[in-house]
Structure 1
Amino acid sequence: MTADATRHFSVDLQGRVAVVTGASRGLGAAIVRLLAHCGATVHAVARGAEELAALAADSANIRPWVADAADAGFHAALAAMEVDLLVNNAGTNAPMPMADVPDDVLDRVMGLNLRAAYLVAQAAVRSMLRHGRGGAIVNITSQMGHVGSPGRTVYCMTKHGLEGLTKAMAVELAPNGIRVNSVAPTFIETPLTAPMLADPAFRAFVTEMIPLGRIGKPEDVAAAVAYLLSDAAGMVTGTSLLVDGGWTAR
């Protein structure tokens, strides 16, 4: 997160312990940097040790945690620590026509985007219920959790499912002071989207579909996440904040 990107951001997360999955690059890294800038102690979770070490060098508030978001050992460790904030960001995509999706791709995308996200959220909730201070969770979904798109049937299915999970968790956990929301970005410039956006025709299509006329930056998503985790969003739960430049408003 550059100085220009954080200069006017005033959300206060001092004293909060946050966990961010998929944290080593792209959206996750931007979210980690901003939460740390806002004062949270941020446990940055990913499989890439070198990338996490580089990220941790940005702030004394960032704690690298080399782990797989789908691993049962990580879920147990997360449930055992004291967590105030969770950003469920780890995810993947494998665009292809529905008729061509093999079982292994179906299982891999569903396993990370939905099953692992559920188990990570469950572990964080167990921590929050035990320490009794409430908490806030943000699930990173997608504009594709609100609409459909050719070549993305599995991805859309998982993101629609994560939106449903967000709502159900919000209703169930509200009496415990735990807020649950989602942030649903459009196409953002990240390593995951780079191969798709490298195609000039696809990039032109995406830009045309976004009324604001530009592809999003990771910092656009990070700002929405920080707001939803903060006390400024104290009456916001069970909703999806679309960071899509107006794509789904058409």
Structure 2
Amino acid sequence: MALPAWGILKGKTAAITGGTTGIGRAIALEYIRQGCNVAINHLGLQKDESLRHSLLQEVESLQKQGKGAGSVLEIAGDVTVPETSDSLIQEAVRRWGKLDIFVANAGVFKQAEFLKIEPALLGHSLDVNVKGTFYSCQAAARQMVKQGHGGSIIGVSSVSALVGGGLQTHYTPTKAAVLSLMQSMAISLGKDKIRCNALLPGTINTQLADHDMKNPTKKAYLEARVPLGRIGRPEDMAGPAIFLASEEMSPYVNGAPLLSDGGMFSNLQ
């Protein structure tokens, strides 16, 4: 269920990487519902055009409801290239005059057995999940420091930052790196009143989990691990992302991992 249009982020500007699908899309739409203007990065692939168009249609629908929804702009680019994030931030500032919130969400995952992982898969995982997150957060932080009025940076990590996975040896280290990056950034940028926190989703039904969701046995196993009894939805991450973005709701939350997994991590022993 979507939050009511309370205007929690009214007048704010946010930028989000990987914002046309999954968790990034859900966060972007909720930010817009709450009055935030959002610049969205995506890869710009032809196969994803339907997702881009449907997102813009959803934003238009929110705006037509007349409850103070924000606006959107979208820019194609690969976050492994530093200039992509520079362009995203610059365009957001050009359009709306500032940057208040940044969500580093873009990420990749493909299950693979440890002994069969090739350098290309490992390299791509590190490039997108670690380097892409670093470059984009750095671009956002530079703008926020320049503005001088603080801000909120959120890195989308994972419960996989805290536990291992036999088919995730190339993935769990990258999500641990995102959590560690947020903690170090919180120390580095605290003097500039920029809060940096990590959102740690559990098992969420996104395109990255398609392999498991299409396997009834694996899906049932995953559901059984969650005390709430269900796999997470992308929309389940929107509320926590609102909380971390809001200066009024989380003014003293900094360098923190916010676990949002339905209780799965507490149930693993």
Which category of TM-score, normalised to the shorter sequence, fits these structures?
over 0.9
Matched, 1:187 2:184: no
Q: 1:79 to 1:55 in 2, by over 3 A?
A: closer
The separation in 1 between residues aligned to 2:208 and 2:177, in whole angstroms, is 21
Letter paired with 1:16: K
Question: Alignment partner for residue 133 of structure 2, among 108, 117, 131?
Answer: 117
Note if 1:66 corresponds to 2:76: yes
Q: State the match for 1:76 in structure 2.
A: 86
Q: Do residues 23 (structure 1) and 19 (structure 2) align?
A: yes
The one-letter code sitting in structure 2 at the alignment partner of 1:177 is K
Corresponding residue number in structure 2 for 1:129:
145
Counterpart secondary structure, 1:123: helix
Call closer, same or farther: CA 1:46–1:188 in 2, change over 3 Å: same
CA–CA distance in 1 between the matches of 2:143 and 2:204? 31
Cα deviation, 1:173-192, whole Å, max 9, x if unaligned, reads 11101001111111111122
Q: Equivalent of 1:6, from 3, 9, 34? A: 3
Q: Does 1:90 align with 2:103?
A: no
Question: In structure 1, what is the Cα distance between the partners aligned to 2:74 and 2:138?
Answer: 21
* 3-state secondary structure, aligned to 1:6: coil
Shift of 1:130: 0.6
1:247 matched residue in structure 2: 264
More deviation in 102-111 or 22-31? 22-31
The CA deviation at 1:53 is 3.2
1:35 equivalenced with 2:31 (yes/no): yes
Moved more, 145-154 or 55-64: 55-64
> SS at the partner of 1:65?
strand
For 1:140, which of 127, 136, 156 is the aligned residue? 156
User: Contact 1:139–1:162 (CA<8 Å) still a contact in 2?
Assistant: yes
Report if the CA contact (8 A) 1:11-1:230 is conserved.
no
1:153 alignment counterpart: 169
The range that moved more, 45-54 or 130-139, is 45-54
* 2:74 maps to amino acid: P
Unaligned runs of at least 5 residues, structure 2: 64-70
Q: Could you give the per-residue CA deviations for residues 59-79 of structure 1, whole angstroms, max 9, x where no partner exists?
A: 251212222222232133245
TM-score, length of structure 2 as denominator length: 0.87
Does the residue aligned with 1:5 lie in a helix, a strand or coil?
Answer: coil
CA displacement at 1:11 relative to structure 2 = 5.7
2:82 touches 2:132 (CA, 8 Å); kept in 1?
no
Task: Let me know the Cα RMSD of the aligned residues.
Answer: 1.5
CA distance in 1, matches of 2:76, 2:216: 35
Task: Name structure 1 gaps, 5 residues minimum.
Answer: none
Post-superposition Cα deviations, 1:78-101, rounded to whole Å, max 9, x if no partner, equal 454432111100001121121111
The secondary structure found in structure 2 opposite 1:18 is strand
SS at match of 2:30: helix
User: What is the CA–CA distance in structure 2 between the aligned matches of 1:218 and 1:75, rounded to whole Å?
Assistant: 23
Amino acid at match of 1:75: S
How many pairs does the alignment contain? 246
